[in-house]
Structure 1
Amino acid sequence: MSYDFFPMLIAGITLGFSAGISPGPLMALTISETLKSGTRAGLFVAFVPLITDLPIIVGSIFIVSKLQNINLLLIVISVIGALYLFYLGYENIKIKHVVMSEFKTNNSSFKKGVITNYTNPNPYIFWITIGGPILITSFNYSLINSITFLFTFYFFLVGVKVIIVFIGTRFKVFFGSTKYIFIIKFMGLLLILFGMILLYDAIVLINL
Structure 2
Amino acid sequence: MEALVLGLTLGLWAGVNPGPLTLLVIRQALSHGARPALMASLAPLLTDSAAIVLAFFLARELPQGLTRALEAAGGVFLLYLGYKGLRGQATLDSAPHTSTQSLRDAVIVNLTNPHMYLFWFTVGLSQLKRPLPEPLWFILGFYPAIVGSKALIALTVARVRQATWTQPLARYSNVLLLALGSYLLFLSARP
Q: Is TM-score (shorter-chain normalized) higher than 0.5?
A: yes
Give the alignment's TM-score, normalised by structure 1: 0.57
1:115 to 93, 103, 108: 108
SS of the equivalent of 2:107 reads helix
User: Conserved in 2, the CA contact under 8 Å of 1:8 and 1:145?
Assistant: yes
Give the alignment's TM-score, normalised by structure 2: 0.62
2:42 to 41, 47, 51: 47
Distance 2:129 2:84 in 1: 36
Shift of 1:106: 4.3
Correspondence list, 1:11-30, <5 A: 11-30=6-25
Shift of 1:105: 3.6
Q: What does the per-residue CA deviation read over 1:174-195, in whole Å, with 9 as the maximum and x for residues that have no partner?
A: 9xxxxxxxxxxxxxxxxxxxxx
Question: Which amino acid letter does the alignment assign opposite residue 135 of structure 1?
Answer: L
* Gaps in structure 1 of 5+ consecutive residues: 1-5, 68-76, 78-103, 175-208
Counterpart for residue 156 of structure 2 = 167
User: Conserved in 2, the CA contact under 8 Å of 1:46 and 1:162?
Assistant: yes
User: Conserved in 2, the CA contact under 8 Å of 1:18 and 1:157?
Assistant: yes
1:151 to 140, 145, 155: 140
Counterpart for residue 8 of structure 1 = 3
CA RMSD between the two structures: 2.1
Distance 1:23 1:159 in 2: 15
SS of the equivalent of 1:52 reads helix
- Alignment size in residue pairs: 128
SS of the equivalent of 1:23 reads coil
Shift of 1:135: 1.1
Question: Which amino acid letter does the alignment assign opposite residue 32 of structure 2?
Answer: S
Instruction: Provide runs of 4+ in structure 1 moved above 4 Å.
Output: 106-109
Shift of 1:42: 0.2
* Gaps in structure 2 of 5+ consecutive residues: 62-80, 86-100, 167-191
